Amino acid sequence: MKKLFLPILLFTSIMCGCTHVPPGESAHDPYESTNRKVFAFNDTLDKYFLIPAAKGYKTIAPNRVRMCVSNFFDNIFYPNTIVNCFLQGKMKQGAADTGRFLINSTVGLFGFFDPATELGLQKHHEDLGQTLAVWGFGEGPFLTLPGMGPKTTRETPDIITGNYLTPLSYLETGYYLPLKMLEIISWRANMLEATEMMNKSSIDRYLSLREFYRQNRIKMVHDGNPPQPDIFLDEEELFEEDDL
């Protein structure tokens, strides 16, 4: 994994270092033409496969069952959050998240139940993209990946490293593929209402998804408290305008 991680980090440093987009500004999207084509492909896949599967899943599975399934997948991917907590220097949170994972994996029966939250150990989400942001890497160009959706180059390495950090990836193919498909369908079912609302209110769904994704990532990087864009001119700029 170390041999694989170093080239990924080098590639990311080159791509992200080229462009730093401050909060409050639009995403850097030099590949918009290609991204829109991939978006159309993903949209077709979503419309004819994922949405019907997600709606069928919601119809068949009771709410309690769906909640347990979501809990299970949240827990099985949680080692990625724990590792990135420590990489970001969040030692106290990392220790608490380790405790959360251990409690839910044991008392919570492999994560199907969430006793850790009842004990005051709240759920967090951290990934390598957030870690790279903390380390000073810029967003880099915006991308739309086939079958995966929106990303920036800063977030793409987590696709690989996050996979190494989940026990799911170490299962044999016969177990991995059905579980991965269930995870995707469960996630899509949870997102049905949100995407329906966005689709109804959007004139350009590609732009809406791009900006929603980026603003959500900024919020995650800043732990829910992103810096507010400065909408006022500073005093020097005001004096310069007065002189004109």
Cβ within 8 Å of residue 91, ≥6 positions away: 85
Q: What is the pLDDT of residue 75?
A: 98
| Cβ–Cβ < 8 Å for 13, 135 | no
Please give the residue that has the higher pLDDT: either 12 or 119: 119
Q: What CA–CA distances, in Å, run from 178 to 73, 149, 173, 175, 184?
A: 13, 21, 9, 6, 10
- Rounded alpha-carbon distances, angstroms, from residue 23 to 169, 229, 242: 34, 7, 28
- Per residue in 103-145, pLDDT (tens digit) is 999 999 999 999 999 999 999 999 999 999 999 999 999 999 9
pLDDT at 231: 52
Lowest-pLDDT range of 16-20, 32-36, 202-206, 216-220: 16-20
Classify residue 171 by its DSSP letter. Answer: S
pLDDT tier for residue 238 given thresholds of 50, 70 and 90: very low
Comparing 4-18, 51-65, 127-141, the range with the smallest average pLDDT is 4-18
Residue 128 near residue 5 (C-beta atoms within 8 A): no
User: pLDDT exceeding 90 applies to what percent of the chain?
Assistant: 77
In this structure, the chain runs to a length of 244
